[in-house]
Chain A
Amino acid sequence: MKKDNLVTQQRVRMQAERADDGLGPTSDIGSRLRALYGAVQDEGVPDQLLDLLEKLDSAEQAQSDKSSNRGGE
C-alpha cells in the first residue's frame, strides 16, 4: 500500500514534469516520438539475442554447478 502510494506520487510528479516539457500524452511531438519508438519495440527481440542470453545463462549455471561440486568434495 505504502509502495503503491510512492509509485503513484512518482507518477504524478513525472506527469507534471511531462506536462510542462511539452512531451505529454496530448503532445503531438511526444506521441509521434512514441509511435516511432513503439513500432521498433513491437518488432520483438530477434532470436539471436534470445539465444545469446540463454547461452550466457546456461554457461554461468554450469560454471557455478561445477564450482559448488568441487567445493563439496
Chain B
Amino acid sequence: MNAEGTSFKREMLATLPSLRAFAVSLTGKHDKADDLVQDTVMKAWAKQSSFEMGTNIKAWLFTILRNEFYSQMRKRGREVQDTDGAFTERLSVHPSQYGSMDLEDFKAALSELPDDQREAIILIGASGFSYEEAASICECAVGTMKSRVSRARTRLTELLKVSGESDYGPDAVSAQVTSGNHGF
C-alpha cells in the first residue's frame, strides 16, 4: 500500500511539467493554469483507486485536467473568454532557438484556431500523445482527432504565410537576444 502510494506520487510528479504546459495552453494564464493543475492533482488523488498502475498515467491525468477545465468554464459561464486560450503570457524563459517575433506570430496564429483544433494540435504535436491517446483524452473518434490536427496545421500554415516570412531570419534571432522582453 505504501509502496503503491509512493509510486503513484512519483509518476504524478514526472507528469506535472507536461500537464502544466497543457494547462497553460488551455487557460492562457500561468496563475489559472497552476490552479487548474492543483485541482487536477486533488481530483486525481481522490480517484487514484480507479487508476491501474502500469497503465498510461499521463493520458489519465490529461483527461482529468481537460474535464476539469471545461466543467469550470461551464460553471463560470465562460467568463474565461478574456483569455485567448493559448500561450498568451510572456514566458519567463524564451526558447532560444526562435526570434521573439517568430514566436509572437506563431502564438497569435495559435490563438486564432478553434479550441478543439488548438488542443488537438498541442496534444499531438507537443505533448507527444498518439492519435488514439489524444482521441481518448478529448472523447472523440480517432478520425475526428486526425482531421482536427490536419485542419489546425493547414490554418496555421496559412496564417503564418500571411504574417510574413522575413521575420524568421538570423536577424530576428539576434534581435531577440538583445530585447528579451518581447517573448511571452
A-B residue pairs in contact (CB < 8 Å), sample of 21? A14-B130, A21-B124, A21-B153, A23-B125, A29-B156, A32-B98, A36-B107, A37-B122, A37-B126, A37-B127, A40-B21, A41-B18, A43-B20, A43-B91, A44-B17, A46-B34, A48-B38, A49-B16, A50-B13, A53-B12, A53-B13
B58 within 8 A of A: no
Known: A34-B126, A56-B41, A64-B5. 17 other contacts (CB 8 A): A23-B124, A32-B98, A32-B106, A33-B125, A36-B87, A37-B122, A37-B126, A38-B95, A39-B93, A39-B95, A40-B17, A40-B21, A43-B91, A43-B92, A48-B34, A61-B5, A64-B2
8 Å CB contacts to A: which residues of B47-82? none
Task: Tell me the A residues contacting B by CB distance below 8 Å.
Answer: 14, 17, 21-23, 28-30, 32-46, 48-50, 52-53, 56-57, 60-61, 64
Give bound CA distance, A22 to B125, whole Å.
9
